[in-house]
Homo-oligomer: A and B are copies of this chain.
Amino acid sequence: MNFISRDTDYAWRALMFMAKNAGEGVVTVDEIVQEEYLPERFLRRIVQKLAKKGILVSHKGKKGGFSFAKSPGKISLIDIIKVFQGNVDFTNCLLKGKVCPNVKKCALRRKLQSISKTVDKELRGITIMSLLKGS
């Protein structure tokens, strides 16, 4: 059972690489691929998605590439997880496809929601910048 998917992982590494090596500047996918040994076409799709979601800016044409749309200090792991894995849901109690009639008073659900909040907060605190400094 994996919490972090491959896309999220690769995206994070690409972002870390960009922050470390280019700062505000533009980086091409090829550069990332060469340094991080990630599958090229797959990474292309990943950074394209990051651009669509407003985390990177894409620059087409010669001398193009990608740069940050937000400062690396404002990009947290929860943002990237949401891009590739959707909302993290610790409490998906279902009843044959319908919402459980129990939702409101279910004690398990309440507990899980509280854990969910904690995790969310922790993930929110992990930013590209913080890891760059902290490692």
Contacts and interface: CB of A to CB of B under 8 A. Distances in A.
Stoichiometry (number of copies) = 2
Given A1-B81, A105-B135, A135-B105, A37 B111 contact: no
A82 to B, nearest CB: 9
Interface residues of A, number: 40
Contact of A86 (B1, B9, B95, B105): B1
A112 B77 CA distance: 10
B4 A91 contact: yes
A22 interface: no
Contacts of A131: 107-108, 111
A91 B123 CA distance: 13
